Amino acid sequence: MARIIHVAVGVIINNDGNILIAKRPEQVHQGGLWEFPGGKVEQGETLFQALKRELQEELAINVITTEPLIKIRHTYSDKHGDENGDKTVLLDVHKVTKFFGEPQGNEGQPIIWVAPKDLDQYEFPAANRPIITAINLPRRLLITGDATSDDEYLLRTERALIAGIRCVQLRVQNPAAPIFFTLAEKLTQLCDKHLTKLILNTSPQDFLTFNISLPHLGLHLNSQQLMHCDTRPVAQSILLGASCHNTDEIAHAEKIGVDYIFLSPVVSTPSHPNATVIGWENFSHLVEPATVPVFALGGMSEADLPQAIAAGAQGIAGIGAWWDK
């Protein structure tokens, strides 16, 4: 039976929005790779106490405030364990949003500040990859709704972007219709102007025929499309998400290598009043073992964001919270 080692991990953010990473010593397991600093939570410590202690020891900084980002379980085979066999590491990752002091490598480790978008240029342990994804995903994700014309569609989207939305999923009733590709072309220009990620809710086949060059373009699979994929349908450089409603779908999404998940419906919505809702308690239980960022979907509003984060979510996704404003 695998041992579980609880590790506090800090994503330290400076005033420029850059992230601090450190290089592992060559002589240790996965030596020479970059990582987010932190260490084991000792018996009797809270996560915050462990993070504060570890970052003081490693970097000579005093942690003041943090917020949860993601939890990741990763199992190493026994060749990296000890006489007790395999070990599972629970990476409990928090953003360090305020600290005092100038970070330095107290243990002789190299440290550097890196822009979030450039983190994928550095080699990290496999267990750290979802952390990089979570860092580069926002707390709020807009799903487009209905509009009476293309102009109104673009107006509603741009209004949300001006208000601070930095990730948009294009979803229409028929993603194979010509209107979808017309809107996608127009949204490409709009999202590029606002440095915003654009995700297309369509089939992998149609996605691969759509030739646009927007950085960080994404594909989102509905649950039926997800379960028909045996492998990841797009390159690693393309953000891939999927809609899930239960443990089987979450497990399959992780198996094919999605980058994030929508989990729904969390609460009831006017559009689906008879749907069986997950509720926040069950949502938290479903998110706990997930190895990728999870967005709460279904009846979400700005007021739900703190509860979503507390339940382990990356953030919230929805239409009405921003589309209808």
Phi and psi angles of residue 253, each rounded to the nearest 5 degrees, phi first: -60, -45
Per-residue model confidence (pLDDT) at position 202 = 94
| Tokens, residue 193 | 């102007």
pLDDT band at residue 81 using 50, 70 and 90 as cut-offs: very low
Average model confidence (pLDDT) across the chain: 91
Phi and psi angles of residue 132, each rounded to the nearest 5 degrees, phi first: -65, -40
Question: In terms of pLDDT, which residue wins out, 76 or 19?
Answer: 19
Q: How far apart are CA 153 and CA 4, in angstroms?
A: 49
pLDDT 10s digits, 284-293 = 999 999 999 9
Per-residue model confidence (pLDDT) at position 84 = 52
The Cβ of residue 191 has, within 10 Å, a number of other Cβ atoms equal to 25
The Cβ of residue 318 has, within 10 Å, a number of other Cβ atoms equal to 25
pLDDT 10s digits, 172-205 = 988 878 888 889 989 999 999 999 999 999 999 9
pLDDT 10s digits, 135-183 = 999 999 999 998 889 999 999 999 999 999 999 999 998 887 888 888 9
Kindly report the pTM of this predicted structure: 0.91
Q: Residue 80: is its pLDDT beyond 60?
A: no
Cβ distance 293 to 137 under 8 Å?
yes
Question: In terms of pLDDT, which residue wins out, 214 or 191?
Answer: 191
Q: How far apart are CA 35 and CA 25, in angstroms?
A: 11
Instruction: Specify the CATH number of the domain 3-124.
Output: 3.90.79.10
**CATH 3.90.79.10 domain position(s) in the chain:** 3-124
pLDDT band at residue 26 using 50, 70 and 90 as cut-offs: confident
| Tokens, residue 320 | 């009405």
Q: Mean pLDDT, to the nearest integer, of 212-221?
A: 79
Cβ distance 267 to 276 under 8 Å?
no
Q: Mean pLDDT, to the nearest integer, of 25-46?
A: 90
Cβ distance 324 to 316 under 8 Å?
no
Bridge partners, residue 13, by sequence: 19
- Give the architecture (CATH level 2) of 140-323: Alpha-Beta Barrel (3.20)
